[in-house]
Structure 1
Amino acid sequence: MAALTRIAEPLEYHRSFLKENCRPDGRELSEFRTTTLNIGAISTADGSALVKVGNTTVMCGIKVELTNPLVEAPGKGFIVPNVDLPPLCSSRFRPGPPGEQAQAASQFIADVIESSEVIQTEDLCIERGKLCWVLYCDMMCVDYDGNVLDACIIALLAALKNTKLPEVTINKDTGAPEVNLEKRKGLNIRKHPVGASFCVFDDSILIVDPTAEEEGLSTSHLTVVTDEKERLCVVHKPGGTPLSAEKLQECIGRATARQREIQKLVDKVIHSVKTAQ
């Protein structure tokens, strides 16, 4: 009977759980799904990470290349993020050019990188006006079950912390760059942004870390990104019903707690990998 109700009246099915302050998967309203992390999973990348938030799975691979700085920004390098939501991760996505959700997710990640200052692009400059690094940060969703933005941020942060740049020197005689692949150093990670996403049901009931089904039934979405200093980096609300100041403050408070949880997880995994090497 419950299975039929879930198919025929999915919103009413969810409401029956929300009235009891729980959700169909057994979580409390403010409870995140289990989050796991693996780094260095792509041997051909300069840095990589695989993140699972519940069933939602995102892999991030980072490739570094040498390029010329822009004339208007001679002392800066580049960070180019891209989020891919292929058909293999969910039947809701179709083959072809990136859809609206993938494009919006890529722009969101770009905003997080810029506003959080996770890496300052000045750190990617090798020789002012002549040579710099560009970081291509590709995030691909392998399995989509909601809340892909949080998973992308975690995967990006972990992959950046896993990335090592080769040593580059400029030949004084020829002016050509010489790359030493045997000598590498890690990126200067200045901040640790982490996102927490929320959905609102019936304009009043707030839940965290929504599944794909919950996202589709909710009346509003919100993602809050904070760093380790509890600084608010990004508040992303793509339409929907407005949130009260009280609800927004509740989201920010939960996001700062989530930031601490995820940073501990990332640091623990990074430490275990370094210990094993």
Structure 2
Amino acid sequence: MAAGFKTAEPLEYHRSFLKENCRPDGRELLQFRTTTINIGSIGTADGSALVKLGNTTVICGVKAELANPSVEAPGKGFIVPNVDLPPLCSSQFRPGPPGERAQAASHFVADVIESSQVLQTEDLCIERGKLCWSLYCDLICLDYDGNVLDACVLVLLAALKNATLPEVSVDAETGAPKVDSEKRQSLKIVRHPVAASFCVFDRSILLADPTAEEERLATARVTLVTDEEGRLCSVHKPGGTSLSGEKLQDLIGRAAARQKEIHKLIDKVIKSIV
């Protein structure tokens, strides 16, 4: 009976729970789902991680390649994120070139990398104007159940913290790079950005970490990215119901608390494998 009601009247089904200040999955309104992190998931990558946020699962592999710095920034390297939402993760995605949502997610992650300064691209420069590292970060969603942006930011951060680069020098006579794969160094992570997403239900009820179904029924969504200093690095709100200044401040505080929680979780996972 409940399954039929959920299918026929999904909005009323959710409202029946929200009246009791809870959600269909048993969470409180502003409670995030259980989050797990595994690092070093891809043996062939220079750094990798897998994150589960409830049922939403995203894996990230970092591949480092030698490149020439750009003329505009001769002393910097590159970080190139790409988010893939394949059909295997949800029936709502179709085969073919990256769809609008995957492209939007890639742009969002790139914006977070730049605005948060998770690492200094100057650290990726080997020889100014001649040689640098380009980090290709491929993020693939394996199971989609909402809130993929939070999962993408988290899995990228975990993969970067897991990444190591071989020692490289440039031959003075030939100008050719010499790579010593036996000597590897970890990336210098400067900031630890964490995303916290919320949705607005019935134009006034706020829910944290929405599931795919909650996203479909929401009248607005907002994602806030904060770092360990409580600094607001990025705000992503693609239209919908507006938020008052008071509600936005409350969400920023909750996002900062979420950052501290996730930062501790990442440190715990990394220490457990050292």
Q: TM-score range by the shorter chain?
A: over 0.9
Alignment partner, residue 52 of structure 2: 52
Gaps of 5+ in 1: none
1:199 paired with 2:195, answer no
- The C-alpha deviation readout for 1:188-229, integer Å capped at 9, x for no partner, is 100000000000011100000000000000100000000000
Query: Alpha-carbon deviation of 1:241?
Result: 1.1
Alignment of 1:170-189 (within 5 A): 170-189=170-189
**Cα distance in 2 for residues equivalent to 1:16 and 1:246:** 27
- The ranges of structure 1 where at least 4 consecutive aligned residues each deviate by more than 3 angstroms after the TM superposition are none
Q: Which amino acid aligns with 1:165?
A: L
> Shift of the alpha carbon at 1:3?
1.4
State TM-score, norm by structure 1: 0.98
Q: Equivalents in 2 of 1:4, 1:272: separation in Å?
A: 45
Question: In the TM superposition, what is the alpha-carbon distance from 1:273 to its structure 2 partner?
Answer: 1.1
Per-residue deviation at 1:69?
Answer: 0.3
Q: C-alpha deviations, 1:38-67, integer Å up to 9, x for none?
A: 000100100000000000000000000000
Q: Counterparts of 1:15 and 1:213 in 2: how far apart (Å)?
A: 13
What pairs with 1:56-95 in structure 2 (closer than 5 Å)?
A: 56-95=56-95
For residue 117 of structure 2, what is the aligned residue in structure 1? 117
Q: CA deviation at 1:120?
A: 1.1
For 1:37, the equivalent position in structure 2 comes to 37
Report Cα offsets for 1:107-159 as digits up to 9, x if no partner. Answer: 00000000000011111000000000000001000000000000001100000
**Residue type of the partner of 1:37?**
I
Q: Quote the offset at 1:247 in angstroms.
A: 1.2
Query: In the alignment, residue 58 of structure 1 is paired with which amino acid?
Result: V
How do 1:210-229 and structure 2 match up within 5 A?
Answer: 210-229=210-229
Q: Aligned partners of 1:173 and 1:217: how far apart in 2?
A: 64
User: Superposition RMSD on alpha carbons, in Å?
Assistant: 0.5
Name the CA distance, whole Å, in 2 between partners of 1:244 and 1:6.
31
Matched residues in 1 for 2:17 and 2:182: separation? 56
Deviation of the 1:18 alpha carbon: 0.6
Q: Is 1:139 the counterpart of 2:144 in the alignment?
A: no
Whole-Å separation in 1 of the counterparts to 2:3 and 2:39: 38
CA distance in 2, matches of 1:175, 1:25: 60
Q: Which residue identity does 1:169 align to in structure 2?
A: S
Equivalence for 1:262: 262
Question: Aligned with 2:91: secondary structure?
Answer: coil
What residue identity is the alignment partner of 1:234? S
Distance 1:71 1:82 in 2: 23
Total equivalences in the alignment: 274
Match of 2:102 in 1: 102
Cα deviation, residue 4, structure 1: 1.3
Residue type of the alignment partner of 2:18? L
Offset at residue 170 of structure 1 (A): 0.9
Provide the C-alpha distance between the structure 1 equivalents of 2:5 and 2:97, rounded to a whole number of angstroms.
Answer: 36
TM-score (norm 2): 0.99
